[in-house]
Amino acid sequence: MSENGDLNERNIKELALSKKTGSTRRLGKIFPGRDHEPGPKVLIIGSGFAGYFATRRLERRLRGTGVQLAMLSATDGFLYSPLLADVAAGAVDPRSVVVPLSGTLAGVTIVCGRVHG
């Protein structure tokens, strides 16, 4: 929970590594029901160009290896911003420049929230 009490936001302290054990704390919120499963867990923060394409590539390369992927994003979609000028001009439909994350990143847990810290 963030400082302002919004339940949709995750505080960086909840995602930080524990200094005593080296294990992650409160990953059950990010990997529900799978936080005790063996194997590495990867959390990508942000769904901009770098975060989206890195997650997409990791998901394809790590498929079937047991690595659990999650993406923390402030929105539930990827906005292709170079086409926004065309949307404003009426040349492109607005639905064409927003891609839903859950539909394109199969096998990746999408968590809506923000990181503070």
* CATH number of the CATH domain containing 24: 3.50.50.60
- In the chain, DSSP assigns E strands to 41-45, 68-73, 77-79, 98-100, 108-112
Residue 2 belongs to a domain: no
By residue range, what is the domain housing residue 43?
A: 12-112
pLDDT digits (tens, 9 = 90+) for 69-101: 999 998 888 888 888 999 999 999 988 888 888
pLDDT reported for residue 71: 92
Contact 116, 3 (CB under 8 A): yes
What is the number of other CB atoms lying within 10 angstroms of the CB of residue 13? 11
Residue 5 belongs to a domain: no
Contact 116, 12 (CB under 8 A): yes
Residue 7 belongs to a domain: no
What is the number of other CB atoms lying within 10 angstroms of the CB of residue 10? 23
CA atoms of 12 and 19, how far apart (whole Å): 14
Count of domains observed in the chain: 1
Q: What is the pTM of this model?
A: 0.63
Please name the amino acid found at residue 19.
Answer: K
pLDDT digits (tens, 9 = 90+) for 43-79: 999 988 899 999 999 999 998 888 889 999 988 888 8
